[in-house]
Amino acid sequence: MNRLDNRRVLVTGAGSGIGQATALRLLAEGAIVVGADVNAEGLALTRKQAGADERLTTLEMNIADEADVIAGVRSAIDTLGGLDALVNAAGILRAAHTHETSLELWNQIITVNLTGTFLVTREALPALLDNPSSTVVNFSSTSANFAHPYMAAYSASKGGIQTLTHVLALEYGKRGLRAVSVAPGGIKSGITDATPGYLPQDADWSLFSRLMAIVPQDNPAEMAGPENVAGVIAMLVSDDGRFISGTEIRIDGAAHT
């Protein structure tokens, strides 16, 4: 018997990177998963990697659009017949000198990362609270606690997610809901692959030297794979994480020790 047998989970950002790895890991451990993403091609790849597993349903959903979230979360809950866990993995990263960050760019990042996490969580809460125990896993980042240059809006959004998670843990803890943030750093994903293209052309790369993992990887030139985060999330939404709530788990290979 797998530890997640018949656990009903909605995973956002399931079309790439850590969200995709998480959806596949949860399936491997027996969960029934709705994987949501704005990227239809990414979701198709997730379905392909899952093979013929009928426990995966994919859903196109834009977490930055309130109406889309309301309809999408309702569809996910109907498909699953309820909801035991929510993993808010969807997000974007953009970078710029802080003094050159436009309000449009700031709002875009905050809207997708922070407001999107809030909207999906808000819509999922009634179904989650129908259970005697349930879990919300939100995606913060090491940038919420440690300076990442050129990422003021991204860092602010991830810090907001962290505090939102604490509120959820306290407000709904007596009703059996656990809320935890994971804070990845130095993990290979669609976001990190695209980061060099978002950085200013005159970026000072020496500022990033302190963000590299200390724990050895199979290939020192590579970042750690998303499966390193997916395994932690599988633990958190299982009974093995039953006493973990209202906190952050940093997954960065000791980069910020």
Q: Copy the structure tokens of residue 252.
A: 């960065």
Is the CB of residue 226 less than 8 Å from the CB of residue 46?
Answer: no
Identify which of 36, 29, 81 has the alpha carbon closest to the alpha carbon of residue 57. 36
Q: Can you tell me whether residue 178 is helix, strand or coil?
A: strand
Q: How far is CA 121 from CA 46, 140, 179, in A?
A: 23, 14, 11
Q: How far is CA 28 from CA 2, 66, 159, 202, 234, in A?
A: 8, 31, 31, 44, 10
For residue 28, is it left (φ>0), alpha (ψ between -120 and 50) or beta? alpha
Rounded distance, CA 86 to CA 33, Å? 10
Q: Distance from first CA to last CA of the chain, Å, rounded? A: 37
Residue 198 catalytic? Answer: no
DSSP for 75-139, please give it: HHHHHHTS-SEEEE---------GGG--HHHHHHHHIIIIIHHHHHHHHHHHHHTTSSSEEEEEE
Q: Can you tell me whether residue 199 is helix, strand or coil?
A: coil
Catalytic residue, chosen from 150, 154, 172, 198, is: 154
Rounded distance, CA 56 to CA 10, Å? 10
Q: Annotated active-site positions, please? A: 154
